[in-house]
Amino acid sequence: MNNKINLKEAISIGIGGMVGGGIFAVLGLAVSLAKGGTPVAFLFAGVIALLTAYSYAKLSKKFPEKGGTVRFVHQQYGNGIFAGGINNLLWISYIVMLALYASAFGSYAAELFTITGKKLLDVRICQTAIIIIALVINYLSVSLVSRIESVAVIIKLAILIAFIAIGFYGFSLHPEHLQQLKPSNWEAPFLLLSGGMVIFVAYEGFELIANSISDLKNREQNTEKAYFGAVGFVVVLYVLIAIVTVGSLTFDKIADAKDYVLAQAAAPTLGQIGFTIITITALISTFSAINATILGSGRVNYDIAEDQELPKYFCRKFLGKPIGFLITAILSIVLVNLFNLQSISTAGSAGFLLIFGLVNYIGFKKHQELKSKKSIHLIASILCFVAFCTLIVQQFQTNISGVLIALGVIVFCFTMEWMYKTISHKSGF
């Protein structure tokens, strides 16, 4: 049986990982921070993603093992407290992403019910229920998760591309709608950068390609093409979506519809039908992202436990699947119901910026072995760490709870690893 994947399939994995729930969840948040400069904010974040993709491509080609980021960290730092803390941060960041997608699903689902004239459905019920449903699907059939993701990728890309095309057609009829995109309506450069960093979670999914590189046909020729093809496509897609959104709605309307702004942006040209189509697309997209994230995070959790960076309890099975599926879902439900969208997005972006900064640094340290350009790794690493600091400083002024969650998660991951390693050492395990 041939389990190899071709270049097109590898690119699809990356695109599917990025264009999941992220764009639906954080677009309104991006506009609230960057205003008319939202496309620039997405471009800032995209440049960092592209540079980081270079490190991932080189490391993936040299170390084509399942586990991706977890394996890269082990290659450089072994199996100590630092490596364990970083890998635990990766797992917790997946949990944060799951909460982000569920938050977006809840907002769009509740809004869909209002347009039918029904009583408003509670957002918390929606976002909790969808995690539970996805958890059940993961326990019933992993192959069903893959099939759902394959269909969802086609649907959401087709509709998003149509959304962009119709939006630009609308601009040709009403060029005055583009006024909001003028530089005079941009926020200050610092806010543009921090806005891009808050929404960085919309790009993190390309790292899923690393888990499939060992199965990629013609790996030597196709690894870089897979990463750059996926990230490059998504950067262009996000920038165009941001242009259409900012050009279609006033900032006041965007603020009012912040949690479901993409659907609202379709209404001026297509009316209620457009709003409904985009809303349904958002539900399909976020649902598929939740499904895939539960699967991915459960496996990461299992790999980390097998490497003795989490208690062996996490290697146990529940209903025939890793118990990490269940633990991840429970923690995500708690998170999404306790904190708001901006706090969750800040925590997710902070976690992945730190992880990507470290992966870039690993590429820099191993550049001779990777036969790569150390300057690109170094620039990417510096940009990730600067972006992390920018995010923390800006959000501390306006969203202190998000900063506390982000820093708390980081401290928790390393403290948990230190305690586990200390107890294991004393117990002789």
The residue count of the chain comes to 429
Please state, rounded to an integer, the average pLDDT across all residues of the chain: 81
Distance, CA of 70 to CA of 87 (rounded, Å): 6
Pick the more confident residue, 5 or 39: 39
CB atoms within 10 A of CB 202: 29
Percentage of residues in the chain having pLDDT higher than 70: 90
Residue 160 has pLDDT above 60, yes or no: yes
Residue 58 has pLDDT above 70, yes or no: yes
Distance, CA of 330 to CA of 95 (rounded, Å): 9
318: β partners: 321
Candidates 414, 34, 362; CA nearest to 199 is 34
Pick the more confident residue, 165 or 249: 165
- Is 7-423 a CATH 3.40.640.10 domain? no
pLDDT band, residue 31 (cuts 50/70/90): confident
Total-model pTM: 0.84
User: Angle at Cα 159 formed by Cα 165 and Cα 228, nearest 5°?
Assistant: 85
- Spell out the domain ranges in the chain: 7-423
**pLDDT tens for each residue of 268-316:** 777 788 888 888 888 888 887 787 777 777 777 777 777 776 666 666 7
pLDDT band, residue 1 (cuts 50/70/90): very low
pLDDT band, residue 376 (cuts 50/70/90): very high
Distance, CA of 133 to CA of 305 (rounded, Å): 26
pLDDT band, residue 233 (cuts 50/70/90): very high
Cβ(217)–Cβ(5) under 8 Å? Answer: yes
> How far apart are the two ends of the chain, measured CA to CA in Å?
39
Cβ(191)–Cβ(394) under 8 Å? Answer: yes
Q: What DSSP assignment string belongs to 184-214? A: GGBPPHHHHHHHHHHTGGGTGGGGGGGGTGG
Cβ(290)–Cβ(21) under 8 Å? Answer: yes
pLDDT of residue 118: 56
Q: What DSSP assignment string belongs to 308-354? A: TSS-GGGG-EETTEETHHHHHHHHHHHHHHHS-HHHHHHHHHHHHHH
pLDDT of residue 115: 58
Candidates 72, 103, 12; CA nearest to 338 is 103
CB atoms within 10 A of CB 376: 18
pLDDT band, residue 232 (cuts 50/70/90): very high
**pLDDT tens for each residue of 117-159:** 555 567 888 888 888 988 888 777 666 666 777 777 788 888 8
pLDDT of residue 177: 67
Candidates 346, 95, 336, 50; CA nearest to 198 is 346
Of 2-6, 57-61, 255-259, minimum mean pLDDT range: 2-6
Distances (CA, A) of 235 to 63, 140, 230, 307: 26, 35, 9, 35
Distances (CA, A) of 272 to 57, 159, 262, 266, 276: 43, 15, 13, 8, 6
